[in-house]
Amino acid sequence: MPKNPKSRGGRTAGGPRATARTAAKPAAARPAAAAPTGTLPSERRDHLVSLSAELFAEKGFRATTVREIADAAGILSGSLYHHFSSKESIADEILSKFLNEVLTDYRAALASGGTPREVLETIARTGFSSLERHRAAIMMLQNDWNYFREQPRFDYLQKTLAEVERIWIGELKRGVKDGTFRADLDAKLTYRLFRDTIWVAVRWYRPGGRLSTKQLADQFSRILFEGVIA
Amino acid sequence: MPKNPKSRGGRTAGGPRATARTAAKPAAARPAAAAPTGTLPSERRDHLVSLSAELFAEKGFRATTVREIADAAGILSGSLYHHFSSKESIADEILSKFLNEVLTDYRAALASGGTPREVLETIARTGFSSLERHRAAIMMLQNDWNYFREQPRFDYLQKTLAEVERIWIGELKRGVKDGTFRADLDAKLTYRLFRDTIWVAVRWYRPGGRLSTKQLADQFSRILFEGVIA
Amino acid sequence: MPKNPKSRGGRTAGGPRATARTAAKPAAARPAAAAPTGTLPSERRDHLVSLSAELFAEKGFRATTVREIADAAGILSGSLYHHFSSKESIADEILSKFLNEVLTDYRAALASGGTPREVLETIARTGFSSLERHRAAIMMLQNDWNYFREQPRFDYLQKTLAEVERIWIGELKRGVKDGTFRADLDAKLTYRLFRDTIWVAVRWYRPGGRLSTKQLADQFSRILFEGVIA
Amino acid sequence: MPKNPKSRGGRTAGGPRATARTAAKPAAARPAAAAPTGTLPSERRDHLVSLSAELFAEKGFRATTVREIADAAGILSGSLYHHFSSKESIADEILSKFLNEVLTDYRAALASGGTPREVLETIARTGFSSLERHRAAIMMLQNDWNYFREQPRFDYLQKTLAEVERIWIGELKRGVKDGTFRADLDAKLTYRLFRDTIWVAVRWYRPGGRLSTKQLADQFSRILFEGVIA
DNA sequence: AATGAATGAGGCTTCATTCAT
DNA sequence: TATGAATGAAGCCTCATTCAT
């Protein structure tokens, strides 16, 4: 007899919180992802999140109406609220899944003990490879950042991004100190260049297109690390 | 969409049509002009456009309501329609001004007859320098691209962007052929990397901040052309 | 309103029909009984009614959602419909039980053959004492009267209240005639004053508080019958 | 040039705040009442508040839909938001007007320096006389108390009611001490009896009915102060 | 040029109820 | 008896736009 049989929307506090996950990089196929606290990951629900993600990626979060999501699922818009407490909670689910993974990936790369260039290249590569699995999240972070930024519920976005920045800048500075990178490198600027370069690619990257994410990563890494000059 | 699309005010159909513009930037940099009294009609109008641009840059085009614009101008939202036929027409004004300038700059760079690296560096630099003057336009192009893309009225955006791409790719290929650039460069990918790198900076670049657009351009150009490796 | 009004469970049409009730109060005071397992069907049902009553008393009938009731019972809202045909039918059960008792009490008082003051004081005292057992019903009658009043299903409310009024006014007039009460008493007004005084107390009266219903009845009876003047 | 031409809804903080009003009792005809801060009391707006008040009085605040209000006004429901920022803000306007007046009346009665009985009788009489002008507010306070109580916006309701209680209890105790009232009077209980008696009358009192509020006040005052016994 | 009032379409959300399993 | 999923009607509110004055 469930005391709270309908924890509509599931995750309440949202965001990447020390999800006890082993160091082993489990980045790939995790079909339904570590079920957020208190959420019984029903297949129906997961399906709805998927559909929503696709729409959010295509049109943006704000520009997507709950009616469109419901239409895509073949139900009435009100019925969505049987599964989620709000449109935001769907976004939350999509975004926190991504950010959790980002954090895990970054920390694993750091923990690997490589050189700055190795660490950053690993990070960059996992970044590119997430373009496929987390297209919607990355898209939303870019298109609707203004919206999410202002909602307390999504504070974790900024917190996670701050840690991401810390890691990048740390490695960049380490690389400058040990002579790997140019001495005149502005760490913050370079971080932004890399981060944006990777994530903005979500705008035009299409899975199954001319280039795989691996090829993408190769080309971009080479340019960013070694420049375009022959 | 206006039922009775009046063409009150200036440009109706919008878009970069050979607007004979000399190199001197005409109407630009009038940052936030205090509420004008007894101003010329066109000055009032320009003021409104510039207020709108600021809001669009800060919150996005769709996310900005006409009431917010009107509030900023100290009038009622309905009164805006004495100056513009629609919210879109304000966007149009902002976007087409920018795209006209882009085209002019690109063509001028091409016409200069420099080496591929010189041409592209010039283009990149003018791109960075436009972050200040055209912050709103660049922001809108990124945040609300999905919206503008689908409206026939804004077809010119895609046309202009296509020409921009043609120029970049042309120069990149020329540079590969003459040995300036790496032989393994994917021209399209590289073009996107450069373009996005420049324009996405609008997200965090703030005029009057730590770095001038010139310093920005220096750092970025160096990384993109020569890489981060020492 | 149910499309197919089933009469699942007990009373269908509701209302105080000579339910032969002895003086002993039968089903009362079962404050909040821990979730019963292996209970008889009717006990389960009674439990649900009593949970509902508590919620109705606290928040009002309309303001209480079936989900809140279901949550309190540890089931899903849809499951309630195995016990009751509608939310109204729960209200019906609560209200008719109360009104039946009121009628019984009033008639018993009348039948006792006392003086007008004795009859009315008895009635007033049973009124106060019902504040505990019928808190929900009295609350609903006040907060949601507008709602119940308009539903044919609850016509019995008005009928019962009309009889209550008849009895009060009858005794008041009898008391005026025999010189017990002031000659200038407006019977209808006085009836309303007494009735409201008693029932409105449900708003602030809390069982187990500073005063028992008996003390309440003593104070109020004294004021109403004898005034506050020393 | 108004900086904030549309302070939709006007009163922001709501409630009876030391509205600089002279001691002179100006209770009666104050057509548009001390214009809440920043509200230009347009006639249209006042009319809409009136219409709303009538509906709120008849059906309750929650039970009245914005559509009903709009229908009554012959406009679309969305158009209401040109005048008010929310349904609550209409309630706020109605309630705070009433509570402001209550406070003024109570303080004036206190300031008159009469005996406890005189003060309380004055208060009671102004209470009855407000049944006409403030029917909606009193009704809402009773029917939708549960709703308003929980909204921070309406905190002032509880504050005002607390002061009302303080005044009543003060006078009652003063009257007990000086021998005017019975020694065994429970001040709090008596206060409630009086308060409820007056305000609950709004349920059945109809202006223009058999009795004027003055007659009502006479009858009730006599009963409450002197009892019903001859 | 503006105001003040309104429109009409659409957005998110709630809720009593139904029903197959 | 429950669950899980859905319905359908309705509720409050937003917003670009129109228009008489």
Which has the minimum average pLDDT: B21-25, B162-166, D48-52, D124-128?
A: B21-25
Confidence at residue D3, expressed as pLDDT on a 0 to 100 scale: 39
pLDDT greater than 50 at residue D19: no
CB contact under 8 A, B75 and D5: yes
pLDDT-derived band at C3 (thresholds 50, 70, 90) equals: very low
Q: Residue C203: its pLDDT value, please?
A: 92
Q: What is the mean pLDDT of residues D4-31?
A: 39
If you average pLDDT over residues A4-9, what whole number do you get? 43
pLDDT band of D120, cuts 50, 70, 90: very high
pLDDT in tens, A200-216: 999 999 988 999 999 99
The residue with greater pLDDT, D1 or C221, is C221
The pLDDT of residue A32 is above 60: no
Residue C91 banded pLDDT, cuts 50, 70, 90: very high
pLDDT of residue C207: 87
Inter-chain residue contact C211 with D186, CB threshold 8 Å: yes
Residue D22 predicted with pLDDT over 50: no
Mean pLDDT within A171-180:
94
Q: In this model, does residue A166 exceed pLDDT 50?
A: yes
Of D183, C57, B142, D23, nearest in space to A143 by CA? B142
Which chain F nucleotides are covered by protein, judged by CB under 7 A?
A: 1-20
* Mean of the per-residue pLDDT values of chain D: 85
10 Å CB burial of residue C165 (0-12, 13-18, 19+) is: middle
> Residue C87 pLDDT more than 70?
yes
Mean predicted confidence (pLDDT) in A169-190: 94
**Which nucleotide is nearest, taking the CA of residue B70 and each C1'?**
E2
Rounded Cα gap, residues C175 and C193, in angstroms = 16
Percent of chain C whose pLDDT exceeds 70 = 82
Between CA A100 and CA A84 the distance in angstroms is 20
Distinct helix (H) and strand (E) counts, chain B:
9, 0
d(CA A107, CA A198): 18
A7–chain C nearest CA distance, Å: 11
What's the confidence (pLDDT) of residue C6?
41
Say whether pLDDT at A60 is over 50: yes
**DSSP-derived 3-state class of residue D122:** helix
- Confidence grade of residue D40 (pLDDT, cut at 50, 70, 90): low
Rounded to the nearest angstrom, the minimum Cα separation between A3 and chain C is 5
Looking at residue D181, what is its pLDDT? 93
Which residue, among D27, D34, D31, D59, has the nearest Cα to D47 in the 3D structure? D31
pLDDT at site B53: 98
Distance E8 C1' – C151 CA (angstroms): 34
- Tokens 């409820």 locate to D196
Residues B175, B116 contacting (CB under 8 angstroms): yes
Q: Is the pLDDT of residue B151 over 80?
A: yes
* Highest mean pLDDT, choosing among A216-220, B79-83, D17-21: B79-83
Which one of A115, A181, A228, A229 makes the best mutation probe of the B interface by having the most chain B beta carbons within 10 Å? A228
Give the type of residue at A92.
D
Chain B residues within 8 A (CB-CB) of chain A?
A: 58-60, 62-63, 117, 142-143, 145-147, 179-186, 189-190, 192-193, 196-197, 200-201, 203-204, 211, 216, 219-220, 222-230
Chains A/D: 3 or more C-beta pairs closer than 8 A? no
State phi, psi for A229 to the nearest 5 degrees: -70, 140
Residue B181 phi, psi dihedral angles, 5° rounding: -105, 160
pLDDT score for C17: 43
| Residue range C18-46: mean pLDDT, rounded | 49
Q: Per the CB < 8 Å rule, is D182 touching C228?
A: yes
Per-residue confidence (pLDDT) for residue B38, from 0 to 100: 54
Q: Is residue C196 pLDDT above 90, yes or no?
A: yes
According to the per-residue pLDDT averaged within each range, which of B9-18, B181-190, D91-100 is highest?
Answer: D91-100
pLDDT, average across residues A28-53 = 65
From CA C49, how far away is CA C137, in angstroms rounded?
12
User: Between the CA atoms of D192, D194, D196 and D199, what dihedral angle is there, to the nearest 10 degrees?
Assistant: -140
Backbone dihedral angles phi then psi of residue A217, each to the nearest 5 degrees = -60, -40
Residue with tokens 């008010």: D84
pTM score, whole prediction: 0.85
Lowest mean pLDDT among A138-142, C24-28, C79-83: C24-28
Confirm if C24 and C59 have CB atoms less than 8 A apart: no
**Lowest-confidence range among B60-69, B156-165, C92-101, D8-17?**
D8-17
Nearest to B228 among A179, A182, A192 (CB): A182
Q: CB-CB: which of D143, D185, D197 is closest to C193?
A: D197
Q: How far is the C-alpha of C160 from the C-alpha of C138, rounded, in Å?
A: 13
Highest mean pLDDT among B7-21, B31-45, D27-41, D71-85: D71-85
Decide if pLDDT at C22 tops 50.
Answer: no
Instruction: Work out the average pLDDT over A141-150.
Output: 94
- Residues pairing with A229 in the sheet: B181
Distance, CA of C166 to CA of C172 (rounded, Å): 10
For D64, the token pair is 């009245």
Lowest mean pLDDT among A39-43, B107-111, D29-33, D86-90: D29-33
Element (H, E) at B161: helix B155-177
pLDDT tens, position by position, C201-217 = 999 998 889 999 999 99
Between the two ends of chain A, the Cα-to-Cα distance in Å is 69
pLDDT, tens digit, 9 for 90 and up, residues D138-156: 999 999 999 999 999 999 9
Band of residue D65 on the pLDDT scale cut at 50, 70, 90: very high
Q: Would you say residue C187 has pLDDT above 50?
A: yes
B138 confidence band (pLDDT: 50, 70, 90): very high
Is the CB of residue D59 inside 7 Å of nucleic acid strand F? no
Taking only the tens place, the pLDDT of each residue in B107-126 is: 999 999 999 999 999 999 99
pLDDT bin (cut points 50, 70, 90) of residue C43 is confident
Does pLDDT of B12 surpass 60? no
Predicted pLDDT at C227: 77
Nucleotide nearest to A80 (CA to C1'): F6
With bands split at pLDDT 50, 70 and 90, how would you rate the model's confidence at B39?
low
For residue A41, the model assigns a pLDDT of 58
CA of D148 to C1' of E21 (A): 43
**Would you state the pLDDT for residue B70?**
98
Instruction: Tell me the percentage of chain C whose pLDDT exceeds 90.
Output: 75
Residues of chain D in contact with residue B71, where contact means CB-CB under 8 angstroms, are 4-6
Which nucleotides on strand E sit less than 7 A from a protein beta carbon?
A: 1-20
pLDDT band of residue A229 (cuts 50, 70, 90) is confident
